[in-house]
Amino acid sequence: MEKWYLMTIVVLIGLTVRWTVSLNSYSGAGKPPMFGDYEAQRHWQEITFNLPVKQWYFNSSDNNLQYWGLDYPPLTAYHSLLCAYVAKFINPDWIALHTSRGFESQAHKLFMRTTVLIADLLIYIPAVVLYCCCLKDISTKKKIANALCILLYPGLILIDYGHFQNIYNSVSLGFALWGVLGVSCDWDLLGSLAFCLAINYKQMELYHSLPFFCFLLGKCFKKGLKGKGFVLLVKLACTVVASFVLCWLPFFTEREQTLQVLRRLFPVDRGLFEDKVANIWCSFNVFLKIRDILPRHIQLIMSFCFTFLSLLPACIKLILQPSSKGFKFTLVIEIIFCNIIFFLYHFRPVCLVLSEIPFMSTWFLLVSTFSLLPLLLKDELLMPSVVTTMAFFIACVTSFSIFEKTSEEELQLKSFSISVRKYLPCFTFLSRMIQYLFLISVITMVLLTLTTVTLDPPQKLPDLFSVLVCFVSCLNFLFFLVYFNIIIMWDSKSGRNQKKIT
């Protein structure tokens, strides 16, 4: 069959699933006075439309920052403005200053969902399609299957279309994906431009910046710092600076503006325990009340240090030996680690390696969806989450036959196990072990889901289930962290060994 027919069908399936999930309720529906993130997005449209640019990030009588103040970079604000113009065209009541607070109606819900779908369609989905088409060394059928699995990833669908928290994730992630695509295919300027746009849309993308930086730096070094490499470096620097200036132009006029925006973007006094989510501090907290021992800014500094240190080996390797594959894996590690330390919904980079290690990627993505469970249950999204997870799982299983790909070589652990066998000759059971771990993990997740849904937590420990989910997810993530680090490290070793031989 022609490739584009199949790809169209895959995209249509992705869109259908997204829209049907969006028919469900959203966060904060019918819950005054603060409602939820849906109201936040509506409020931002109201603010950006009615107030001049200078007042967007400032507290004023018209703009109460306590009530969902704007805390994303300027590109989000521009996007909200665009949506507000459309809203004004359809029904001005939706964005009337002050009076539209807590506005909820069927038509408005339709409008908001449509904006998400359109943003997805324009930015994220083309990135996915192009990314899958540019994958090397795999058949057309596998490329299309890859696209299907990525588009069916439940985490993004449920957050953007169901829960409606931090929506338009697809926009920032789409830009980031364009960035990855550009950089992997040697369109460096385009890639870095796209990535800057991503950062300017949601500051969370800064987490991805380290691998990007190291990879591009590595490329420059490879080209030779005295010649082409230096030129490339300068071009990249200009692109980055230019894109930032363009986005922040209205806010560069005064120093106070810039500072205020930065203060809104990085509220260092908010702490790390917002919502019990899959991060290591929550898990530690079970055993050791860290929250009470360490003051907040120390926690923050420690987190940053941990992140930086853990990424150091992978990043150094990336600088010395820039490769597309290494870049992808570093991104993955980075994201897993950041998710453990901080709180993120960004598991998308793992989709990037879906085609190379289908088994582990599928497992990881399942765990990542599972870790969102407490949040989804709060919004009555049990049915869509179960259905989309199963759909994703079936798609991965049939597309990649993942259960047949659990041998050592397939898991890219061959060099690792060879090294270990030098010390422990009986270490032949690695793939078996991993299969069993997978089984245990899945069974635990299913059981925990069932218990959370059917039983009530005991009175003394009302958050028991959330914390358990948190804990289990964290364990899984640590395992993946170790695994992906092993891949990178041993890949480099075998690479170096081969170079020595030849």
Partner 1 sequence: MAALTIAAGTGNWFSALALGVTLLKCLLIPTYHSTDFEVHRNWLAITHSLPISQWYYEATSEWTLDYPPFFAWFEYILSHVAKYFDQEMLNVRNLNYSSSRTLLFQRFSVIFMDVLFVYAVHECCKCIDGKKVGKELTEKPKFILSVLLLWNFGLLIVDHIHFQYNGFLFGLMLLSIARLFQKRHMEGAFLFAVLLHFKHIYLYVAPAYGVYLLRSYCFTANKPDGSIRWNSFSFVRVISLGLVVFLVSALSLGPFLALNQLPQVFSRLFPFKRGLCHAYWAPNFWALYNGLDKVLSVIGLKLKFLDPNNIPKASMTSGLVQQFQHTVLPSVTPLATLICTLIAILPSIFCLWFKPQGPRGFLRCLTLCALSSFMFGWHVHEKAILLAILPMSLLSVQKAGDASIFLILTTTGHYSLFPLLFTAPELPIKILLMLLFTIYSISSLKTLFRQSFTVATQAGVQWH
Question: Closest approach of Cβ 116 to partner 1, in Å?
Answer: 12
Among 53, 290, 397, 478, binds partner 1 (CB under 8 A): 397
Output the six-digit token pair for 314: 């992978």
By beta-carbon proximity to partner 1, the closer residue of 117 and 119 is 117
401 scored as a contact of partner 1 (CB under 8 A): yes
Residues 330, 211: contact at Cβ < 8 Å? yes
Using CB under 8 A as the binding criterion, the count of chain residues that bind partner 1 stands at 37
Rounded CA-CA distance 376/383 in Å is: 10
Integer Cα distance of 240 and 194 in angstroms: 10
For 286, residues 6+ apart whose C-beta sits below 8 A from its C-beta are: 467, 471
Nearer Cβ to partner 1 (107/241) = 107
Q: To the nearest whole angstrom, how small is the minimum distance from the Cβ of residue 114 to partner 1?
A: 8
Q: Is the peptide bond before 33 cis (omega within 30 degrees of 0)?
A: yes
Q: Which of 90, 231, 298, 383 binds partner 1 (CB under 8 A)?
A: 383
Q: Which of 16, 99, 105, 497 is in the footprint of partner 1 by CB under 8 A?
A: 16
Cβ 468 to partner 1 shortest distance, Å: 25
* Nearest distance from C-beta of residue 9 to partner 1, angstroms: 6
Task: Kindly state the tokens that stand for 480.
Answer: 């993946």
Minimal distance, residue 6 CB to partner 1, in Å: 8
Whose Cβ is closer to partner 1: residue 6's or residue 320's?
A: 6
Among 34, 90, 97, 107, binds partner 1 (CB under 8 A): 107
Q: Please, which of residues 240-279 interact with partner 1 by CB under 8 A?
A: none
Tell me which of 246, 403, 433, 443 binds partner 1, using CB under 8 A.
Answer: 403
- Asked whether position 15 contacts partner 1 by CB under 8 A, the answer is yes
Alpha-carbon separation of residue 137 from 58, 143, 351, 402 (angstroms): 52, 10, 17, 18
181: tokens are 């695509």
Distance (Å, rounded) from C-alpha 109 to C-alpha 38? 9
CA separation for the pair 85, 75 (Å, rounded) = 15
Contact map string, positions 111 to 130, toward partner 1, x by CB under 8 A = ------x-------------
Closest C-alpha among 193, 240, 218 to residue 324: 218
Question: For residue 102, what are the contacts with CB-CB under 8 A and spacing of at least 6?
Answer: 32, 33, 35, 39
Select the residue interacting with partner 1 from 394, 433, 450, 453 (CB under 8 A).
Answer: 394
Nearest Cα neighbor of 123 from 170, 164, 76 is 170
81, 391, 464, 467: which one binds partner 1 (CB under 8 A): 391
Is 140 buried (19+), middle (13-18) or exposed (0-12) by CB count in 10 A? middle
Q: What letter does residue 54 receive in the DSSP assignment?
A: G
Phi, psi of 443 (to 5 degrees): -60, -45
Provide the 8-state DSSP code for 124: I
Interacting stretch for partner 1, rule CB under 8 A, among 172-180, 304-312, 366-374, 402-410?
Answer: 402-410
Stretch that binds partner 1, among 72-80, 103-111, 472-480, 485-493 (CB under 8 A): 103-111
Residue 1 binds to partner 1 (criterion: CB under 8 A): yes
Choose, by CB under 8 A, the member of 387, 420, 478, 489 that binds partner 1: 387
Site for partner 1 in 425-484 (CB under 8 A): 435, 439
Q: With contacts defined by CB under 8 A, name the span among 16-24, 259-267, 334-342, 493-501 that binds partner 1.
A: 16-24
Q: What is the 3-state secondary structure (H, E, C) of 308-371?
A: HHHHHHHHHHHHHCCCHHHHHHHHHHHHHHHHHHCCCCCCHHHHHCCCCCHHHHHHHHHHHHHH
Identify residues 129-188 at the interface with partner 1 (CB under 8 A): 141
CB of residue 391 to partner 1, shortest distance in Å: 5
Minimum distance, C-beta of residue 8 to partner 1, in the bound complex (Å): 6
Q: Which residues here bind partner 1, judged by CB under 8 A? A: 1-2, 5-6, 8-9, 12-13, 15-17, 19-21, 23-24, 106-107, 110, 117, 141, 383-384, 387-388, 390-391, 394-395, 397-398, 401, 403-404, 406, 435, 439
